Every structure is written in structure tokens, then in C-alpha cells.
Chains A and B, each alone.
Chain A
């Protein structure tokens, strides 16, 4: 199985900051990677698919990059509604796997 390791596990930031979250795969997944946002008590929301493609309706302050084993999600200009937990997911091969998440907290 492909293991996804997200870092950092958590971070504190302020509104307006730019933050970068990383996701490292235990083996290459080409560009088959997605990012999701989850707020407490709610379902995850797809933000980025195929490593760098913005899902419809997602603000352009979210961007993704990377390939093979190293990926990143950048939020440029944090907004109050962005404080949440973010997960990466690989779709290169079954079983699909998720990273353990990065919690973005308000400083």
C-alpha cells in the first residue's frame, strides 16, 4: 500500500498569512493526488485533484503542485473559513489511501 505522510501535523497561522502543507508518498503516484478540506462534524470537501487542478467553486487562493512523491497545497491569504483539517489522497492505485491530515489552526 502507498503511504502518505503529511507535514506538519498542525500549524498555527493568522488571517492573511500564506501557508504551505506538504504530502509525501512512499512511492511515486505520478499526478494522482487530491486535497480535501474537512471542518469538524462535516464531510470532506474536494479542493484540488490531479495534483494541481482546482475543483469547481473552490477559491483561487488554493493551489496545488507536485508529482510522483512530493506534493504541496498552498493557501495564499488565509481566510477565517480556511481553518480546518486538510487531507491528501492518492488515486494512483488501490487501495486508495489518505494522509493523516494537517490541522490549520488560528494563531
Chain B
């Protein structure tokens, strides 16, 4: 059974930093792209970042490029999202999602989400 589990969400002050983790199991981890998608309170879904199976290729939303960094450790079946220079508008539930295929175009397994709150 595929499982995806996020952790690391917390209350952080504006300008602060935070690292989210996403532990995955039940599939050949290195074969699939992984993504982060966020949802602000009461709002819709926003794609944040995608990382290829090898970790060599990454993509970011304009809203986070230069502030967020996605990475993965295939030996630990874990994806990370390093977030810095956090803003109030980054407040959201952050979901980690498995790509349906190597290209990661669609997301077929999601974690339960981890809440990031940016506030003083």
C-alpha cells in the first residue's frame, strides 16, 4: 500500500525558515516524481514544486521560487521542502503527493498534509 506522510509544519514568524519532510513507502520511490501542493485556509489548491525521481530536475511556482528548495533522499524514501523568507501568504496546509508516473504530471497518492502558519 502506498503511503505518504508529511511532517514539520509549525508556527513560524514572518521572515523565518522551516523544513518540511515527506516520508513515502509502498512503491519504488526513486522511480517517481514527487510534488508539494498547498492549500491556504478556505482556499483552493496551489501547486508549489515538483522534483524528478533522480532529484536532478526541479520546478517551482513563481510565488516560491528563490525562497523554497525541494530535495529528496532516495536512500531514505523522503522528500524535503526547505522554506525560507516565509510570508503570511505562505500560511497553508502543505500536501506531499506522489506523481502518477515518472513524469509526475498527475498526483495519485497524497499525504494528510501538514499545517504551516506564518504569523508574529
Contacts and interface: CB of A to CB of B under 8 A. Distances in A.
A43 B44 contact: no
A96 B50 contact: yes
Interface in A43-92: 43-46, 49-50, 55, 87, 89, 91
Interface residues of B, number: 21
Nearest to A101: B44
Interface residues of A, number: 24
Interface of B: 35, 37, 44-47, 50, 59-62, 95, 100, 105-108, 110-113
19 contacts: A32-B105, A36-B107, A43-B95, A43-B110, A43-B112, A43-B113, A46-B106, A46-B107, A50-B106, A55-B108, A89-B106, A95-B59, A95-B60, A96-B50, A97-B47, A98-B44, A98-B45, A98-B47, A101-B45
